[in-house]
Amino acid sequence: MPPKRKKLRWLLPAILVIFIFSSFFIFQGMRPPAGRNAPLAFTVAPGQDFIEIGKALEKEGAARSAFAFSLYSFVSGLRTKFHAGTYVIPADAGAAAIARLFAQGEGIPERTVTVIEGWTLDEIDAYLAEEKVFAKGAFAAAVKKMPVLCPFSENVCSLVVSIPKKSNSLEGYLFPDTYRLYLDARPEDLIEKMLDNFLDKTGSEALARSLETSTHSRHEIITMASVIEAEVPHEADRAIVSGIFWKRIDAGVPLQADSTVNYATGKSARAASLKDLKFNSPYNTYLYPDLPPGPIGNPGISAITAALNPKESPYWFFLSREDGTTVFSKTLDEHAAAKEKFLR
């Protein structure tokens, strides 16, 4: 038998075997990933090519094989029709179904929510209910479950575990900001975003260094920041008020912050009533010296920075006027006169 014919005799079966095995692996790669039994959100970034998308799909467990997805996208011509956006990939979707989903461009609608600096957990919950994001009470209930059951990343759960049990759940750590949410988002999705944001913002170089070198714990700093946030509208005055508060604590003098009384009573009066000042709660800083057990709201960076960087002054008292400006006093008599003048 001629050598060429002999080689051809072995080459054709080899090619056939390779083709069969390749087809088998491609077919397997087209199937949904093993173990994926729930829908998965996936984002196609603007300008992302089909090969990068395939790699991301495989990495996130949305597709079994990046090669199979990329090959199908190329052969079918769908690769040129992909639309940027966020998609819900069904649990039973293989590579072909995913490619068609991206080509249709029907991603998940999103919305934004804005949480204001200083809002309490209950105020955030009321806002979310009013905006029809979640049912009333759903967000607050989910927050209060977190210390018991934390379904988030290791970093976020470490933060949750570090919060003293005497505090009121995650109050103080739900970072105020604007957040994007899918329309089908759960309360836990927003909670995770807020806690991640807290870690990100307080993990900036300057703040992280200040927190590390502070003589106060992170929880004490956030608690102080929440009181400053509630008491002082103008950022320029916050460092001085921080100095007053820390000075009072060092001297064993009660903070006497009306905002802490309001947090205990659930009221929102600018000045607490004489009756409320006697309300027995560890959050009542007229009755109990030192900081309250935990934050009374969720402070922003300005208040946290002020808590970390108190400014020395001769003042021991202050009050906030209706226009938000702060009046400082050195003595109790001066403070009484200021109250008579500006709060009557």
- Specify whether the CB–CB gap between 124 and 139 falls below 8 A: yes
Domain ranges in the chain are: 31-108, 111-202, 215-342
CA atoms of 145 and 295, how far apart (whole Å): 18
- Specify whether the CB–CB gap between 245 and 318 falls below 8 A: no
DSSP 146: T
CA atoms of 46 and 223, how far apart (whole Å): 41
Q: Which residues of the chain have pLDDT under 70?
A: 1-30, 148, 168, 344
Question: How much is the pLDDT for 18?
Answer: 43
> What long-range pairs does 104-107 form, CB within 8 A, spacing at least 24?
107/44, 107/83
Sign of the CA dihedral with 213 first, then 216, 219, and 223 last: negative
Of 253, 251, 240, 249, which Cα lies nearest the Cα of 310?
A: 240
CA atoms of 215 and 188, how far apart (whole Å): 33
Classify domain 31-108 at the CATH topology level. Answer: Dna Ligase; domain 1 (3.30.1490)
Question: How much is the pLDDT for 168?
Answer: 66
- Specify whether the CB–CB gap between 115 and 181 falls below 8 A: no
pTM of full prediction above 0.75: no
CA atoms of 116 and 33, how far apart (whole Å): 41
Provide the token pair at 38. 């729930």
- Name 134's Cβ contacts closer than 8 Å, sequence gap at least 6: 125, 128, 187
